[in-house]
Amino acid sequence: MIRPHGSETLTPLFVYDVALRHELQREAEGMPSLLLSSAAAANAVMLGAGYFTPLTGYMNTADAMSVAERMRTPQGLFWPVPCLNLTQNVSPIEGARRIALRDPNVDGHPVLAIQEIAAIEELTAEQQRFICEKVFRTVDPSHPGAATFGALGRFAVSGPIEVLNFSYFQTDFPDTFRTAIEIRNEIQEHGWETVVAFQTRNPMHRAHEELCKMAREAVAADSVLIHMLLGKLKDGDIPAPVRDAAIRKMVELYFPANSVMVTGYGFDMLYAGPREAVLHAIFRQNAGCSHLIVGRDHAGVGKFYGPFDAQKIFDDEVPPDALRIKIFGADNTAYSRKLKRVVMMRDAPDHTEADFVQLSGTKVREMLAAGQALPQEFARPEVAAILMRYYQAEAI
């Protein structure tokens, strides 16, 4: 199986020893505590689940600046996006060496992790702007990722952590949330060597379905990992439970048995386009996948990135030896009226725009909210029905 990123073995930071975990939980109740941002809590979950292998905790300012500038830590580890614990107020933890990190996304703010403080540093406005420009390619507050980053605060609390739970992801998504270890174990149990991963924060329409099938055939994959983001999204995106139900129905009805793993991971969407695509590749390499599908406007938002910038970064900026996972670069896919099937648009140069069935996201939402059936060439009827129930409930 493919090796994890930057390590011979996966290095999850979750405390699997039950007795030790209970002891740490008791100890944490008497520690100075910091209420995390949702972004920092998501980083802790990903560290705990092994997706951030080989990181040992939150980065300091020098790490963050180096990663932002050249996608490497000062020690030389390839990494595309700083892993930070930024906060606005450090007065509750001043002078502390070990602190309890509390979960902002669960009632009562239980302890999510314990951190050993290596440093508390205040980023300058220039440093924060530099990181934002490098990671998101913009500081425009209309960009949801840049806006979130700008509001996190300027105090960076760095140091290793021990993770005590996986926040709300295990309880809210027991059938879907999986750690990188769990996915690796399932791949190994099946004896699969080639697994192609598909990242999604949206329901999967007909074109997404066929893209997974095309990629599986093109790389002769044993299986497809449909890996959905379960964390926080921007306003207007479809909630994870609705996406989960729609994707599972599609897989149940339209994929061969035992050819797809439907799973999810606990992270907040960054909308960082090319940089986030590289981070997605690391997640999937750590989960044991051999390939990642990178499609049109992968991890993008609005008009902030070119349609294929997330593919170009792997050719132009990612060193050849940085990653072991391979990228399956996909064009926009759509149903061809001429060929009566879904195709990548680059493979149909004789087609005009009228030859394809394509609907904008806005048009899809309007039709579903109005109870209008989507064309079967665009969406499977069983999937459309799940989405329609959600949009009609939202419209009430």
Show which residues are catalytic.
Answer: 201-202
Amino acid present at 21: R
Amino acid present at 83: C
Beta bridge partners of residue 58, listed in sequence order: 159
Cβ neighbours of 161 (radius 10 Å): 22
Amino acid present at 172: D
Measured between alpha carbons, how far is residue 71 from residues 25, 34, 172, 276, 386 in Å? 35, 28, 34, 12, 40
Strand order in the sheet with 223-229: 260-265, 223-229, 195-200, 291-294, 326-329
Residue 150 contacts by C-beta under 8 Å, 6 or more apart in sequence? 128, 132, 139, 141
As given in the structure block, the two tokens for residue 157 are: 């609390």
